[in-house]
Every structure is written in structure tokens, then in C-alpha cells.
Structure 1
Amino acid sequence: MLLRVLGCSGSDLPGHHLTSFLVDEAILLDAGSVTSALDLSQQSKITDIFVTHAHLDHIKDILFLADNLIEFFSGKDRPPVRIHGLADVLGSIAEHLLNDTIWPDFTVIPENAPVLAYHPLAPETVIQVRGLNVATCPVNHARAASGFVLWSDDGEHNVAYTGDTGPNGRWWDFLNALPFPLTNLITEASFPNSMETLARTSKHLTPGLLRVELERLTVRPKVHIYHMKSPFSAQIQEELQRDLAGYTYHLMNEKETFSF
């Protein structure tokens, strides 16, 4: 399983792009920075988008991706790009974005071969996509927010992705119940410890809060950190060195590729 970082920042600034990960050249985990990171040929290979929640920094490039891909669908017998997520998340996208007011509804355009299709997921139910098993579980963030776990049939290749999250229990219980030991975890550290009140209010994590959450796991996967708010990144990195002592962790960077 190859995962490419298209964007991993909690801030949209020059040199810092919003969250999106590309798996095996065809599967997106969130879509905050797709069209600015991939050329048209690469965009045309995308078949599935897994959306953690409907905040704009995780979904905005669904709009521009659909617009770019229309030439690959018009007059052609190609299945639509599937958007996966909990039903309330997909409902928010349909109501507030792909609504013919903010953006055209590409689930009906072109008429006989639409670019996009919604595929609602049930929590903790496993589906198969392009040779991988994928399951979602709710997390503590926005309305109907969830994280995803992707793994090979034998469980040897696996990664869990929290999406944005604050402190929560169900997610970690779900990971502990997986039929294989989790080896890779992508999770967030948005704010420094001095901003814990804001982190809790906005349902994000600080390095200190992250340590408490990781202690809920019965295994110690390699931890990949994303979504640092850029103005506080230096402080967050210093605190991670202290608060994640004993853990193997990595600060994600754009254009990195991981083999999980």
C-alpha cells in the first residue's frame, strides 16, 4: 500500500497545503489539496474518495476535481468516482456544496455518465475497494466525523487515519478490536499545549492530549503527525518531542510517499 501526502497542514498558507492523502494512485483520503498537487492524468486515475468529515479543508477539491474530470466522462462509459463517508457527511456535501448554487451537482452531470456518486458507509462495516479492506468509525470532531482503517487481506499492510479529532474513546476501542496489530497511525496535533482549551472546544488535539489518547491503544504503532497549525508548528514540534517520548513518530511532509 503506497500512500502519498498531497497536503497535511492545518493551515492554508504558501508551502502549506490542506489535508489529502493518495493511496495506490487511485484512492483519496480526504480532498483538501488534490487539483493543486496532481496533474490531469493523475487526477483521472482517482476512483474513490473517503471523506472523514464535511469541513471545507477536507473536501474543497472534490469540486474542482469533478470539474476537471468531466472530459473523461462525457460520452464515455466510465463509472463515477465514488464518494464514501457516513450518511450525514455525504448529506452535507449534497446540501451545501454540490447543490447547483455553490457548485454544479456532478452526481447528475453529465446526464448519462455522472462524474460523482455517493456511497454512504455504516460505522465499523468493512468494504473492499481496489484490493483493500476499508472500515470507518466515528470520532469526536465535526458532525458525523469518522476515521478510516485500510488493510490488506492478511492484515500485514495497514494504516489507520483518525482525520481531525478531539479526545474520544470509541475510535481507540475499535482499533484495539482489529483482527491484526495496527502498525501505522495517522493522527493530528493541531495546537500547542498552552491552547488546550481551544483544542478541546474545537475538538482537536495538542501533544499532551495526543499522548493520553495513544495510551488507550494496546499496541504502539508508528505515529504519523499531520494537521499542525502552521503558526504554532515549532512549539508543537518541541512539545511532541517531550510528550511522545517512548513512541516512534514522524511529522508528515508534503510530497512524501510511504509504503505501509
Structure 2
Amino acid sequence: MHLHVLGCSGSDLPGYNLTSFLVNKTLLLDAGSVTSSLSSADQAQIQDILVTHAHLDHIKDILFLADNLIELVVRNEHGPVRIRALAPVLDSIRTHLLNDTIWPDFTVLPAIGNPVLTYNPLEPGVWVDVNGLQAATFPVNHAKAASGYVLREESSGANFAFTGDTGPTSDWWHFLNGLPFSLEHLIIEASFPNSMEELALLSQHLTPALLRVELDKLHARPKIYISHMKSTFSSEIQEQLNQALDGYTYHLLRDGEDITF
């Protein structure tokens, strides 16, 4: 299973791309920085988007991807891209973005029977097949109906989980502890330094110290991949991670890198 990091930052600044991962070239995991990172040819390979929540830094490039793909759909060279998420997240995108006010409704363009995008609601904890991968979503503690994902390649058994944005939680870890396989890799956020714990809790994010408390709820000990650091505090966060993740193998994600699970 191949993961290409399009963006993994908690800040939108030159050199820092917003959250988005490309899995096996056809599946997006969030869509914060797609069209600025991928060529037209690579965008044309995308078939599905798994969305963790409806905050703009995780979904904004759904809008521009649809605009870029419409010509291919008109020529019947590309089928609809399936947006998959918990139903309230899809409702937020439908109501507040693809509403013909903020952006055209690409779920009826170029034609009702031939749209660029479709909505495909997921149920918590229910496994679905997505382009040959098994995927399941489960709620986390962040925005309205925010959730994380677990992806597994059946042929090899390779797997990883992605929390998306989250603050301290419990049900998510209970879900991971109940997986019928051992979790190998975990992508999780560390948005703020320890000195900003109050803000992290108010905004439902994690600091390195809070992250360690969360990881101690997990029975497995997967390799940890850190995302969503606020760029202003990245050096401070990295120093604190050295202490907080003592005993763990971890990696700081970088925009543009490729990882094979």
C-alpha cells in the first residue's frame, strides 16, 4: 500500500500544505491540498475521497478538483468521484459549499445522471471496499461528526489508521483495540505545544503531552506518524515529541514524501 503525502501541515503558508494524502494513486484521504500538488493527469486518476470532517483545510480542494475533472466527465472519460464520509459531514459539504452560492453543485453537473461528484455516506465501524482496500471510519473528538479511518490491504495485510484532527477521546481507541488484526501504523496529529494545552483542548486538538496520554489507551504499539503541526510552533512541538514519544518509533511527516506500508 502506497501513501503519497500531498500535505500534512496545520497551517496554510508557503512551503506548508494542508492535510491530504493520496493512497495507491486513486484514493484521497482528505483534500486540503490536491490541485496544487498533483498534475492534471494524476488528478484524473482519483476515484474516491475519504473525508474526516468538513473543516475547510481538509476539504477545500474537492471544489477545485471537480472543476478540473468536469471536461473529462463531459467526454465520458471519467466517472464520478465518490465522496465518502459520515452523513452529517456530507450534509455540511452539500449545504455550505456545493450549494451554487459558494461553488457550483458538481453533484448535478454536467448532468444529473452524469455528475462529477457523488455523495456516499458511511456508517461508523462498517467496513467497505474502496478500490481494492478495506476501509472503516469511526468518530473522534473534533468538529461535527469528525471521524478517523482505518485502511487495510487484504492481500498483504498492510494497514494504517488516520485520526484526522482530534482532541482527547476514548471511543476511537476502543474501536482500534477491537480490530481483528494488529494495527501497524498510525497517523495522528500534534497541533500545539504543551504550553498551549488550554487552546488545544478548546479547539479539540492535541499537544505532545496529550498525545502520549492518548497513545497509552491503545493496546497495540504501531509506528507513529505525526501530522498537522502548526508551523509557527513546529520546532517546539518536535522537541517535546522526543520526550512524549519515548519508547515509540515515530516519524514526522513531510509534504511530498512517499511511504510504503
Length-normalised TM-score, structure 2: 0.98
Counterpart position of 2:99: 99
Give 1:18 shift.
Answer: 0.2
Segments of 5+ residues of structure 1 without an aligned counterpart are: none
Q: C-alpha separation between the residues in 1 aligned to 2:56 and 2:82? A: 18
Q: How does 1:100-249 map to 2 (within 5 A)?
A: 100-111=100-111, 112-153=113-154, 156-249=157-250
Give 1:78 shift.
Answer: 3.9
Query: What is the one-letter code of the residue matched to 2:8?
Result: C
Do the aligned residues in 1 keep the contact of 2:225 with 2:253 (CA within 8 Å)? Answer: yes
CA RMSD of aligned residues (A): 0.9
Give 1:154 shift.
Answer: 5.6
Classify the secondary structure of the residue corresponding to 2:238: helix
Counterpart position of 1:5: 5
1:71-98, Cα deviation, whole Å (9 max, x unpaired)? 1100416431000000000000000000
Distance 1:154 1:25, change over 3 A: closer
Q: C-alpha separation between the residues in 2 aligned to 1:190 and 1:39? A: 29
Q: C-alpha separation between the residues in 2 aligned to 1:43 and 1:180? A: 32
Classify the secondary structure of the residue corresponding to 1:73: helix
The number of residue pairs the alignment matches comes to 260
Classify the secondary structure of the residue corresponding to 1:53: coil
Q: C-alpha separation between the residues in 1 aligned to 2:187 and 2:128? A: 20
What percent identity do the matched residue pairs reach? Answer: 64
Query: What is the one-letter code of the residue matched to 2:106?
Result: F
The answer as to 2:52 corresponding to 1:52 is yes
Classify the secondary structure of the residue corresponding to 2:25: coil
Give 1:124 shift.
Answer: 0.3
The answer as to 2:257 corresponding to 1:256 is yes
The answer as to 2:89 corresponding to 1:89 is yes
Segments of 5+ residues of structure 2 without an aligned counterpart are: none
The answer as to 2:20 corresponding to 1:20 is yes
Classify the secondary structure of the residue corresponding to 2:114: coil
Length-normalised TM-score, structure 1: 0.99
Q: Which moved more, 1:146-155 or 1:109-118?
A: 146-155
Query: What is the one-letter code of the residue matched to 1:157?
Result: A
Q: C-alpha separation between the residues in 1 aligned to 2:80 and 2:230? A: 34
